Amino acid sequence: MDLSSTLQRWIFAALISFGLTAHAGLLNAWAQEPAIDPEKRTVMMVLDGSNSMWGQINGVAKISIAKDTMSDLIRNWDFSTPMGLMMYGHRRKNDCSDIEIISTPGFGDRQTFIQKVQSVSPRGKTPIAASLGLAAVSTGAYTGKKVDIVLVSDGLETCQRDPCQEVQVVKQLNVNFRAHVIGFDVTDVEFEQLQCIATSTGGQFFRANNAQELKEAITNTVAVVTDDGVGNASEGQGTDSSPVPTEEPPSTLLYGKLCETCERLEPLDVNWNVLKDGVQHHAGLGVIYPRDTHQFTPGSYEVTARLFSSQAVAKGEIEIGEDGQQIGALNLNAGSITTFAVVNEEDKQAAQTALYKFYPVVNGEVGGEIATAYNNQGEPAETWLNAGRYRITVSVGGNVTDSTEIELAAGEQVEHTFDLRSGTVAPKVFLNAGAKQEVNFGFLTLFPEGSGSKVIIGYYGNKKTVKPGRYDLEVVMDSTLGRVEKRFPIEVKPGDQVTGPFVMDAVLFTYNVTRQDGGAVKGVTLLSEREDKSGFVKTGFAWGNPKGTGIGKPGRHKLQIGNDAPLEVFELILGEKPDINVEVQ
């Protein structure tokens, strides 16, 4: 079945979206064997690594049972039928993209494969639909190949997608595609909902409630997905006492290190692209077996090395000695930054995913984004990068809430906690200490103590969520005639709401200016006495408003009409609201 260019682009986008290319080195832990039968069906096992797998059956964690059963399967699998493995929910909490292809189908290093399975620690969600979609892409199900996907899960989809619809789309494009489900310790409701994955594709559904039943379900599934039954697919399967196939030791191990004086990293920690005389010699992890096509002979090799699937990359040369082993280790000049965010006094992680973005800073200039990381509910995020300076932003709920810059040295592992805890400022403002009613106008602004940008609360009645700390709260009250402003030092504590009361020590008054001849009053100026009694200063002006409400501080004031001489002094007293009526010629 030929794919259209549109479908090909969709598949490539899916690979990038789910990080398949980031695992290229790990996928090469399998070496393609000539013994693989092209007529055999391709099999992809999809194992549930979500947090619910910590549930127990007869006192044993379900994940322990699953790991042991899968390890037995790997030991005894006949790789003339190519088989691969995927897991989901095993690395991060609350992350629907936590899906990892441990290996694409092929012949492989059983021991490495088993070690990966045994290292799984359930953590997160259950993205079944996305996992099945990626499994279909990675096995070539869209090209018409004979493909079987085997899902082992103890629960339902938790990422708001439809697994049944996902496999039905694949089935429409490829009649040779089947999906099988092993429901491990599932309820009747879960059984009914998971069953459609198998029935809609012509696959089988097996239900397992304990270790023995899981082993039997795996055995029965093997019988279905292999062309000629269990016998040929599991020559060494038998009992627990059956001999376990042994692997040849590696012929060459490639090593990197974080810094010049650092210890070697494990060969499985680094992905390599190796050139010999300008031609690609090896691509994959730093473990080369005698069966591999390209062996390392003494001499120099150009390499590009990537730590895990991170942005920590180094180029250079390595030297292979007479014994076929690397001399020294390639300096990756890298370290890690572990980020965390707290949102309350108990230092618990944000309920929503905290997303971190990393930007290199060179000569004071911030470059483009080069890496992202995220953590959820108490799980810090570790990001490996080359040594240098980085701007890191953190956002929760889609909004950038904080940033920092960190200098990372080679070999260093830096930890940084973003304090996203907050408090609320909702001021209650009164004219004077004896006032029983709040004012209903004014503009409010917060000024952080020391450095920092001002935070605008806005017009009276608004409230603002801000970081904990000390601030000056500025309240500005403008009336038709006059203006009073005052600052109040406040402290915002995590989880608290600052309300006051805040007393302005101001006086409202009404004024009404008329002319004896009935003419228009074009301008009224408010003059207020200086605190040192040295004279009066302009504190308000109303153009075209001969009557209205004014505001001023307690003390002596005058009105000036147009350019006429100031009128008689009047006094504003706290707690009073005088009426100022003036008639001018």
Packing angle, helices 211-225 and 62-76, rounded to 10: 40
Strands 99-106 and 83-88, how do they pair? Answer: antiparallel
**Exposure of 227 in the CB half-sphere (CA atoms within 13 A):** 14
Bridge partner residues of 303 (DSSP): 274, 316
- State the pLDDT at residue 228: 42
379: phi > 0 → left, psi -120 to 50 → alpha, else beta; which?
A: beta
Collapsing DSSP to helix, strand or coil, 134 comes out as: helix
Reported as a single tens digit per residue, the pLDDT across 11-31 is 433 443 444 333 433 333 344
Integer Cα distance of 304 and 316 in angstroms: 7
More confident of the two residues 439 and 5: 439
Reported as a single tens digit per residue, the pLDDT across 102-133 is 887 875 667 777 888 888 888 888 899 999 98
Q: Specify the range with the lowest mean pLDDT, choosing from 220-224, 412-416, 580-584.
A: 220-224
- The top-scoring range by mean pLDDT among 23-37, 58-72, 455-469 is 455-469
| CB distance 405 to 390 below 8 Å | yes
Q: Which two tokens stand for residue 106?
A: 């092929």
pTM of the model: 0.48
Integer Cα distance of 45 and 73 in angstroms: 11
Integer Cα distance of 388 and 11 in angstroms: 35
Query: What is the average pLDDT value for the chain, to the nearest integer?
Result: 83
**Exposure of 47 in the CB half-sphere (CA atoms within 13 A):** 30
Query: Among all chains, which residue has been given the structure tokens 């390639």?
Result: 330
pLDDT-derived band at 97 (thresholds 50, 70, 90) equals confident
Termini Cα distance of the chain:
100
**What residue ranges define each of the domains in the chain, with the CATH number in brackets?**
5-233 (3.40.50.410), 252-331 (2.60.40), 334-419 (2.60.40.1120), 423-503 (2.60.40), 507-584 (2.60.40.1120)
Residue type present at position 555: G
Distance of CA 471 to the CA centre of its chain: 31
pLDDT-derived band at 33 (thresholds 50, 70, 90) equals very low
Collapsing DSSP to helix, strand or coil, 159 comes out as: coil
Short-list 229, 226, 151, CA closest to 196: 151
| CB distance 511 to 561 below 8 Å | no
Q: How many helices (H) and strands (E) does the chain have?
A: 9, 41
pLDDT-derived band at 352 (thresholds 50, 70, 90) equals low
171: phi > 0 → left, psi -120 to 50 → alpha, else beta; which?
A: alpha
Query: Among all chains, which residue has been given the structure tokens 């040779």?
Result: 176
- State the pLDDT at residue 397: 64
38-42-48 Cα angle (round to 5): 165
Contacts of 136-140 spanning 24+ positions with Cβ under 8 A: 136/167, 136/170, 136/177, 137/11, 137/14, 137/15, 137/20, 138/15, 138/20, 138/44, 138/84, 138/86, 138/101, 138/104, 139/42, 139/44, 139/84, 139/104, 139/105, 140/42
Integer Cα distance of 148 and 179 in angstroms: 6
**Exposure of 232 in the CB half-sphere (CA atoms within 13 A):** 10
More confident of the two residues 115 and 312: 312
- The top-scoring range by mean pLDDT among 194-208, 264-278, 290-304, 475-489 is 475-489
- State the pLDDT at residue 398: 64
Q: Which two tokens stand for residue 115?
A: 């070690």
| CB distance 226 to 40 below 8 Å | yes
Integer Cα distance of 417 and 396 in angstroms: 14
pLDDT-derived band at 422 (thresholds 50, 70, 90) equals confident
State the DSSP string of 81-104: S-EEEEEESSSSTT-TT-EEEEEE
* Edge-to-edge order in the sheet of strand 334-342: 381-386, 334-342, 413-419
Indicate if the pLDDT at residue 291 is higher than 90.
Answer: no
Return the HEC string of 496-512: CEECCCEECCCEEEEEE
| CB distance 257 to 330 below 8 Å | yes
Q: Specify the range with the lowest mean pLDDT, choosing from 20-24, 126-130, 289-293, 377-381.
A: 20-24
Reported as a single tens digit per residue, the pLDDT across 522-549 is 899 999 999 999 999 999 999 988 999 9
| CB distance 253 to 268 below 8 Å | no
Short-list 480, 478, 472, CA closest to 443: 478
Query: Among all chains, which residue has been given the structure tokens 């010629």?
Result: 585
- Centre a 10 Å sphere on the Cβ of residue 315 and count the other Cβ atoms it contains: 10
